[in-house]
DNA sequence: GCCGTTTTCGGCCCGACTGTTTTCAGTCG
């Protein structure tokens, strides 16, 4: 069964081919549908099974029919026919930065060039000199782009990997001075699983100074373009970063605009047009007069919409919802009052316990659960040293409940690991392919499931958790749920565990990324396990319920 | 190909930047 990503890629390829063939509006229609499917937080096959493909924005009769064929057979006749219309290498040309469909089509039809290698040959042979529209600079630009085209060019990176980069860039720019306000926009702000580039917005009285400093940051490999309001650089890692300087009166409009998503913005602009307004990155305009734009709320307010959290801006119905009134609150960092999954070092002592307890106090957590023993796949793991266990048993902090967890493999932990009567169990499958256990491990009646083991595993574990009164951890990495998995958990009534990061070093992105995923899944405070819920998910709480 | 308080046809976001141009086309986001 094809995945959402494969279906999105299919539609994108069709759009590329139609582009090269010179179609006018179809390519954008296919891309729109492709983006919708990519941002779907549910299995496309499920939507199809319910007969609801047409409810996906940008999917009409024709594309729905093609999706059904692709889902059923893994192929699409229409795509195969289109592929025969253009040389295969032409589509690779589209991936060269600066080369678009118009240029690729001209190379193909006017020069007989059918791919990147042939184009490089043609440039070397001087066959582009004298061709209308291709001066020396353009030719050199293309030559350099062809030479630089590597496997990593344009690849998206996990958002957790983007966090430290973003922090260094912001710190570097601040240190250079001349900046009043600085924010990150784009898919990073929307909390997407991966980001393709970073969009940085600043206000400054001295843009030139900011651009100079930006281009000189140590991580910057190349300044790709620089104008009066924006500068684009490529980092040593290959990640592209756009820096824009905007005036304070337009900051909200720019932040809104560059946060996207594209489809969200197109929808907003069409609403604006219907009202005789115009929205762009400089503000909201009635005629020549700017009537808003200093804040995002002004932009949404001009359309009588409630402010929409960035994580929801995917044109998936959030605009209609915001027209009816304020959106239901999403979980906030301050709602994360419980930590369930702290691992201490194997040789942990009193000080390690005290350190994490102090951190939990500082974060005002109400519940702190520490793994006291792992009984992993290959037999019982080490329990915490006695000194740490004793400290854990004796420490008293007003308002902070301490919990003891045992982490076990899917077949259940060895009896002696559970003999210490933990408050709850963290279930950990041995491999990505692992199936959920048939029944809850012995001992405590409830479990927190972490380490779900990849995309395919997520759905099985969500079902398992639903049947066993368990909650599931969300966050970065294949061992936790992403936003798609989190949404399926939420709609199945399975509570989410969001790591607080209380045991992690400053700047570790795990908690922020996890919170973003939960929010993208539409999770409110009550969808996430907090301190007030901890009792219901632990032994003592279960005992109380029975009593 | 999609879509609709302009709904079954006729539109389709909009601006920055670059290179090649005497006013614009192509690409990108």
Domain membership of residue A186 (yes or no) is yes
Q: What is the helix, strand, coil percentage profile of chain A, to 5? A: 45, 15, 35
Task: Specify whether A217 is located in the same domain as A338.
Answer: no
**For chain A, what is the mean pLDDT?**
85
**Which of A224, A245, A266 delimits the end of a domain?**
A245
Select from A181, A183, A197, A231 the least CA-distant residue to A211: A231
The pLDDT tens digits of the residues spanning A109-166 come to 888 888 888 888 888 888 888 888 888 888 888 888 887 765 455 578 899 999 999 9
Q: Check: CB of residue A12 under 8 Å from CB of residue A31.
A: yes
Using C1' positions and the CA of A145, the closest nucleotide is B27
The pLDDT tens digits of the residues spanning A452-484 come to 766 667 878 888 888 878 889 999 988 888 988
CA atoms within 13 A on the CB side of A291: 14
Domain membership of residue A228 (yes or no) is yes
Domain membership of residue A328 (yes or no) is no
CATH number at residue A496: 3.20.20.140
Smallest Cα–C1' distance to nucleotide B24: which residue has it? A133
Please give the residue range of the domain that contains residue A515. Answer: 333-539
Using C1' positions and the CA of A93, the closest nucleotide is B27
Question: What is the per-residue pLDDT for A358?
Answer: 94
Mean pLDDT of all residues in A310-324: 88
Mean pLDDT of all residues in A314-321: 86
Task: Specify whether A19 is located in the same domain as A34.
Answer: yes
Task: Specify whether A8 is located in the same domain as A127.
Answer: yes
The pLDDT tens digits of the residues spanning A406-463 come to 887 655 544 455 556 678 888 876 554 455 554 444 444 456 777 776 666 787 888 8
* Distance measured from the CA of protein residue A94 to the C1' of nucleotide B1, in angstroms: 22
pLDDT higher than threshold 70 for residue A547 = no
Mean pLDDT of all residues in A16-20: 90
Task: Specify whether A355 is located in the same domain as A448.
Answer: yes
Task: Specify whether A120 is located in the same domain as A26.
Answer: yes
Rounded CA gap, A458 and A469, in Å? 16
Question: What is the per-residue pLDDT for A258?
Answer: 92
pTM of the model: 0.83
Rounded CA gap, A75 and A10, in Å? 9
For chain B, which bases have at least one atom within 7 A of a protein Cβ? 1-3, 5-6, 11-21, 25-29
Task: Specify whether A30 is located in the same domain as A96.
Answer: yes
Task: Specify whether A66 is located in the same domain as A198.
Answer: no
* Distance measured from the CA of protein residue A38 to the C1' of nucleotide B11, in angstroms: 26
Rounded CA gap, A254 and A18, in Å? 32
pLDDT higher than threshold 50 for residue A377 = no
* Distance measured from the CA of protein residue A142 to the C1' of nucleotide B26, in angstroms: 13
Select from A193, A215, A194, A211 the least CA-distant residue to A202: A211
Using C1' positions and the CA of A133, the closest nucleotide is B20
Domain membership of residue A544 (yes or no) is no
Question: What is the per-residue pLDDT for A393?
Answer: 86
% of chain A beyond a pLDDT of 90: 36
Task: Specify whether A340 is located in the same domain as A314.
Answer: no
Question: What is the per-residue pLDDT for A446?
Answer: 55
* Distance measured from the CA of protein residue A16 to the C1' of nucleotide B20, in angstroms: 26
- Burial readout A473-511 (b: 16 or more C-beta within 10 A, e: otherwise): bbbbeebbbbbbbbbbbbeeebbbbbbbbbbeeeeebbb
CATH number at residue A119: 1.10.150.110
DSSP class of A180: S
Can the peptide bond before residue A218 be classed as cis, meaning omega within 30 degrees of 0?
A: no
Domain membership of residue A465 (yes or no) is yes
């Amino acid at each position: 069964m094809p995945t959402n990503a494969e279906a999105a890629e299919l539609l994108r390829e069709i759009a590329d081919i139609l582009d090269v063939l010179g179609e006018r509006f179809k390519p954008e229609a296919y891309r729109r549908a492709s983006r919708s499917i990519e941002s779907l937080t549910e299995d496309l096959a499920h939507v199809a099974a319910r007969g609801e493909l047409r409810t996906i924005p940008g999917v009409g009769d024709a594309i729905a029919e093609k999706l059904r064929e692709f889902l059923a057979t893994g192929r699409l006749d229409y795509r195969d026919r289109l592929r025969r219309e253009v040389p295969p290498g032409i589509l690779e040309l589209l991936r060269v930065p600066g080369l678009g469909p118009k240029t690729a089509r001209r190379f193909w039809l006017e020069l007989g060039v059918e791919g990147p290698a042939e184009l490089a040959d043609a440039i070397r042979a001087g066959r582009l000199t004298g061709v209308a529209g291709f001066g020396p600079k353009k030719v050199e630009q293309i030559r350099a782009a062809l030479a630089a085209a590597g496997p990593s060019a344009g690849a998206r990176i996990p958002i957790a990997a983007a966090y430290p980069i973003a922090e260094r860039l912001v710190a570097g720019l601040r240190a250079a001075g001349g900046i009043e306000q600085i924010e990150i926009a784009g898919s990073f702000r929307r909390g997407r699983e991966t980001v393709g580039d970073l969009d940085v917005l600043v206000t400054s009285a001295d843009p030139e100074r900011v651009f100079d400093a930006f281009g000189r940051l140590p991580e910057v490999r190349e300044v790709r373009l620089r104008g009066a309001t924006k500068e684009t650089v490529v980092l040593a890692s290959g990640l592209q970063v756009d820096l824009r300087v905007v005036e304070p009166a337009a900051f909200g409009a720019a932040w809104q605009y560059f946060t996207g998503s594209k489809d969200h913005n197109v929808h907003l602009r069409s609403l604006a047009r219907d009202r005789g307004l115009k929205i762009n990155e400089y503000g909201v305009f009635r005629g020549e007069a700017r009537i808003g734009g200093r804040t995002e709320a002004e932009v949404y307010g001009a359309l009588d919409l409630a402010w929409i959290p960035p994580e929801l801006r995917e044109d998936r119905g959030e605009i209609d919802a915001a027209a009816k009134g304020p959106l239901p609150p999403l979980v906030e960092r301050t709602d994360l009052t419980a930590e369930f999954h702290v691992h201490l070092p194997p040789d942990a002592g009193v000080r390690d316990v005290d350190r994490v307890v102090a951190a939990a106090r500082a974060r005002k957590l109400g519940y702190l659960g520490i793994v006291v023993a792992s009984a992993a796949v290959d037999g019982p793991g080490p329990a915490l040293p006695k000194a740490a266990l004793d400290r854990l048993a004796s420490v008293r902090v007003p308002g902070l409940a301490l919990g003891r967890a045992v982490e076990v493999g899917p077949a259940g932990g060895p009896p002696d690991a559970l003999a210490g009567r933990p408050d709850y169990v963290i279930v950990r499958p041995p491999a990505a392919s692992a199936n959920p256990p048939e029944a809850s491990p012995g001992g405590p009646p409830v479990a927190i499931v972490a380490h779900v083991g990849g995309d395919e595993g997520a759905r099985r574990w969500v079902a398992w958790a639903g049947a066993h009164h368990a909650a599931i951890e969300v966050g970065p990495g294949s061992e936790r749920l992403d936003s798609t998995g989190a949404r399926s958990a939420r709609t199945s009534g399975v509570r989410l565990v969001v790591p607080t990061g209380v045991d992690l070093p400053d700047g570790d992105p795990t908690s922020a990324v996890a919170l973003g995923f939960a929010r993208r899944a539409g999770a409110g405070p009550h969808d996430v396990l907090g301190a007030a819920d901890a009792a219901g998910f632990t032994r003592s709480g279960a005992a109380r319920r029975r009593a």
